[in-house]
Chain A
Amino acid sequence: MRIGIDVGGTNTDAVLMDGRNVVGWAKSPTTKDVSSGITNVLTDLLKKTQAKPQDIAAVMLGTTHFTNAVVERKSLSKTAVVRIGLPATSALPPYIDWPEDLTAALGGIYYLVHGGYEFDGRPIAALNEDEIKGVASQIREQGIDCVAISSVFSPVNPDQEKRAAEIIAAEIPGVKISLSHEIGRIGLLERENAAAMNACLSHLAVKIVQSFRDALAGLGISAPFYISQNDGTLMSAEFVEKYPVLTFASGPTNSMRGAAFLSGLKDAVVVDIGGTTSDVGVLSQGFPREASVAVRIGGVRTNFRMPDVLSFGLGGGSHVKTEPLQVGPQSVGYEITTRALVFGGNDLTTTDIAVAAGMVEIGDKSRVAHLDKELVNHALTRMWEMIEISVDRMKTQAGGVPVILVGGGIILVGDSLNGVSELHRPEHASVANAIGAAIAQVGGEVDRIFSLDTTPRDKALEQAKEEAKGRVLSSGALPDTVEIVDVEEVPLAYLPGNATRIRVKAVGTLAVD
């Protein structure tokens, strides 16, 4: 059996799964230190299900810890950025488009050195090893031990980033290095930003992984544990220590993966209705569709893979104002159990409307019996319209689409929605996120520009696919289960030599038990 945990902003959810069966689940408030919230929810889960710690083969965890650290500018390490690109790139140095307070939290230290590549792999300049040694000793003298390295067109050729990392590692004992080509895509500033954020989380990652480890050990669970990434696959504890940034936005991803698992649908729109907001995402082949534009995290533009999610202010705790009618975005949030009318409070919420309409029985329904019928109907129509508009914005073609509803707030939705062909409310929908975390798959990706004049298209595709599969295997997947889930080819405008960007993604089932 395995356990899936999702640490959200409000609640920490956990499920116990045996193969494809949900054995049981538990919910508990998220705590400030995160790990005691995990201990609470697991204690509850083990008690409810009567499972023994030694029966647990693996624990999968989704966490917002690292996103929050960046958003709140807390527990971030001083980080030096080394950019390999001179004589190009000095027009815009590292940290150029960051909010000042976040730059200050990282120290804002950077170095530009010679090197980098052209789009076709020609070097812009040779790597100057003495120059890098000099930079490394300056970094060491300032007592900085987190370094992000970026190089122009490193997704085409990562050699210079790797060589620079070797030199710096030799000069600074114990240094933690993040390489941009391992994290982001083409788009130097955005990729470098992601690498710098990853680097500044290096020490926190070690600490957090240890606290998770301690929490599990405290309950007698000795199984290996894995952390969810934002593409719906898992990484090992050792891996998350190196790439904490890949956990960003794993919450919505887990909800979508859980929705796919529970409903059996691979292509659908997922609406996750929480207490304060709802997230709408799109499943394509069982995985979340990725955002195609730069995504801002903590005010910083990044371009690494992130789920394409549209959030809007509708949840089970959203305020309903009557004159004029307005739903959200204010919400009573986790205080719903004291502030909503049906729970004896004084705030009219969306949950009260659902109870008044007879859609669900929660709390004391006599406390909403006085509500005007027309008002209730108008409010319901408005709530459903909010969902309909968001679903419509996210779908990629005209016509009805299947929608999977998950999250605690699905009680707000009636039997049908406009623009929706089928409405699914799978069992255990309120813990879809934790179930999504427990789906044990690992992935690997290749994103590179190939010149189809020198490498025939078939060969380039084959090469990219083999490399992606190799990455999945090295992450611990069962060889028989590895498959290619996504291939994207983009011919590059204005480029000669038939240059094409090829992106391949493979996934496989993790060898657990």
Chain B
Amino acid sequence: MWSVTHNDIEAIAIGAGILGTGGGGSPYLGQLRMQYLLKKGYSVNIISLDELADDARTCEVGWIGAPTVGIEKIWDGREPKWAVEALERYIGHPIDALLCSEIGGGNSIAPLEAGALTGKPVVDGDAMGRAFPEMQMSTHFIDGAPCNPSAMVDEKGNAIILDHLVDSFALEHFARPLCVQMGCVGMLALPLMSGAQVKKSSVRGTLTLAKQVGEAVLRARRTKEPMMEAVLSVTDGVELFAGKLTDVQRRTADGFARGEMTCEGLGTYRGETLRIAFQNENLVAWKNDTVVACVPDLICLLETETGEPITTEQLRYGLRVTILAIPCTDKFRTEAALKIVGPAAFGYPDVTYNPLPKQAGIGIE
């Protein structure tokens, strides 16, 4: 068990940005909110999966909505707590520990805020080990976690319970318009899981990993040691490429920002080209027309000089970037999971997923 500090939050926000693989939203406001809670005297403890009792009740806490609204209508701050409490009232039992749904991007911090405000510990893990655009792309749901019941709240204190929904598609169907009525920012608490289920389904240690990645970046900035080596040493990833963005094509399709970018090599990569297709997150990378990485493995763009993660909205001609590939969780590498998170699920049926080699003990479990 460890207690989160002000500096941990800064590191987690940077690490979560990198693990967001171009999507997941900015963790910046979350970082500010959580650091403000710590300043006001709140604290939150992170426990490992092993410290969780098999019969413990847990739930994920995370927000849904439009990022453009999120930067304007700032939260009351108590929404994560209200969501958990609404669910507790409905089931008539206290929830013992909280979970992160998506370590990549903005939702890495919401469970920490919930933990600080409720006094409940947060489990060191999540349901993706990265960021993904849709709810079903989760190790919890792939393992059959229930989508009933769930609670959704807004900043005014409105709380709504969803129950008896036929499946996760119905959940998406009902939650979206509710979120709009809430002013396009809503906080969700779901799914309810036992400690035993969590131990089986969660990606272990990803809060710690995000912190280590962020600390590596911060240390490299301070000591001027090679930035990418520092990141790779904790993620078990490989450097795919370094160069300059020379082309970015975008289109909006089905509410998602899709597109493709081209990067021309610099330094040892001079004369080579890397292409990446994205849909909010980076999906497939081709080096000189050969696939070198694809989902569910992580394709991360970092600004070469600063190590700052680059989101797909920030892509523009001339950016100097280094592209890393990081092996994803083994839980996404099964045949069943690949149907939901593999290249075909994102519209690339011709791309074959060749898992990046990984070694035990470092990186994403």
Contacts of A286-313 to chain B: CB distance below 8 A: 293
From B63-71, B84-92, B141-149, B340-348, the one touching the partner chain is B63-71
Known contacts: A92-B29, A491-B252, A492-B66. The answer to whether A85 contacts B74 by CB under 8 A is yes
B314 at the interface (CB under 8 A from A): yes
Instruction: Verify A188–B155 contact, CB threshold 8 A.
Output: no
Known contacts: A88-B75, A89-B76. The answer to whether A186 contacts B68 by CB under 8 A is yes
A344 at the interface (CB under 8 A from B): no
B119 at the interface (CB under 8 A from A): no
Mark B166-181 against chain A: 1 for CB-CB distance below 8 A, else 0: 0000000000010010
Known contacts: A88-B155, A96-B36, A186-B68. The answer to whether A398 contacts B73 by CB under 8 A is no
CA distance A124 to B320 in the complex (A): 42
15 A-B pairs with C-beta separation under 8 A: A89-B76, A92-B29, A92-B33, A124-B156, A124-B183, A152-B74, A392-B318, A394-B318, A396-B318, A398-B246, A493-B67, A493-B252, A494-B66, A495-B184, A496-B177
CA distance A119 to B320 in the complex (A): 35
Instruction: Verify A87–B252 contact, CB threshold 8 A.
Output: no
Instruction: Verify A96–B66 contact, CB threshold 8 A.
Output: no
Q: Which residue from chain B places its CB closest to the CB of A294 in the assembled complex?
A: B28
Q: Which residue from chain A places its CB closest to the CB of B69 in the assembled complex?
A: A119
Partner of A119, one of B33, B75, B183, B252: B183
Instruction: Verify A494–B72 contact, CB threshold 8 A.
Output: no
Instruction: Verify B73–A116 contact, CB threshold 8 A.
Output: yes
Q: Determine the chain B residues whose CB is within 8 A of the CB of A293 once the complex forms.
A: 314
Known: A124-B73, A188-B74, A493-B66. 8 other contacts (CB 8 A): A87-B155, A88-B74, A91-B77, A92-B29, A118-B73, A119-B66, A189-B29, A393-B319
Q: Determine the chain A residues whose CB is within 8 A of the CB of B73 once the complex forms.
A: 85, 88-89, 116, 118-119, 124, 152-153, 188
Known contacts: A90-B77, A118-B183, A398-B246. The answer to whether A492 contacts B72 by CB under 8 A is no
B6 at the interface (CB under 8 A from A): no
Partner of A91, one of B74, B180, B183, B319: B74
Instruction: Verify B255–A493 contact, CB threshold 8 A.
Output: yes
B247 at the interface (CB under 8 A from A): yes
A97 at the interface (CB under 8 A from B): yes
B257 at the interface (CB under 8 A from A): yes
Contacts of A73-107 to chain B: CB distance below 8 A: 85, 87-93, 96-97
B317 at the interface (CB under 8 A from A): yes
CA distance A124 to B158 in the complex (A): 12
Max chain B C-beta neighbours (<10 A), residue from A89, A91, A491: A91
Instruction: Verify B247–A398 contact, CB threshold 8 A.
Output: yes
Contacts of B248-262 to chain A: CB distance below 8 A: 252, 255, 257
A343 to chain B: closest CB distance in Å? 35
Contacts of A150-196 to chain B: CB distance below 8 A: 152-153, 186-189
Mark B19-31 against chain A: 1 for CB-CB distance below 8 A, else 0: 0000000000100
B211 at the interface (CB under 8 A from A): no
Partner of B257, one of A88, A186, A493: A493
B316 at the interface (CB under 8 A from A): yes
Q: Which secondary structure characterizes the binding site on chain A?
A: loop
CA distance A116 to B185 in the complex (A): 15
A350 to chain B: closest CB distance in Å? 23
Contacts of B297-321 to chain A: CB distance below 8 A: 314, 316-320
Contacts of A496-513 to chain B: CB distance below 8 A: 496, 501
Q: Determine the chain A residues whose CB is within 8 A of the CB of B74 once the complex forms.
A: 85, 88-89, 91-92, 152, 188-189
CA distance A494 to B67 in the complex (A): 9
Contacts of A375-412 to chain B: CB distance below 8 A: 392-398
B32 at the interface (CB under 8 A from A): yes
Partner of B76, one of A91, A122, A396, A398: A91
A221 to chain B: closest CB distance in Å? 44
Instruction: Verify A395–B317 contact, CB threshold 8 A.
Output: yes
B314 to chain A: closest CB distance in Å? 7
CA distance A322 to B223 in the complex (A): 25
Q: Determine the chain A residues whose CB is within 8 A of the CB of B355 once the complex forms.
A: none
Q: Determine the chain A residues whose CB is within 8 A of the CB of B36 once the complex forms.
A: 91-93, 96
A197 to chain B: closest CB distance in Å? 18
Instruction: Verify B156–A87 contact, CB threshold 8 A.
Output: yes
CA distance A124 to B65 in the complex (A): 17
CA distance A92 to B155 in the complex (A): 13
Instruction: Verify B76–A90 contact, CB threshold 8 A.
Output: yes
Contacts of A456-513 to chain B: CB distance below 8 A: 491-496, 501
Q: Determine the chain B residues whose CB is within 8 A of the CB of A396 once the complex forms.
A: 316-318
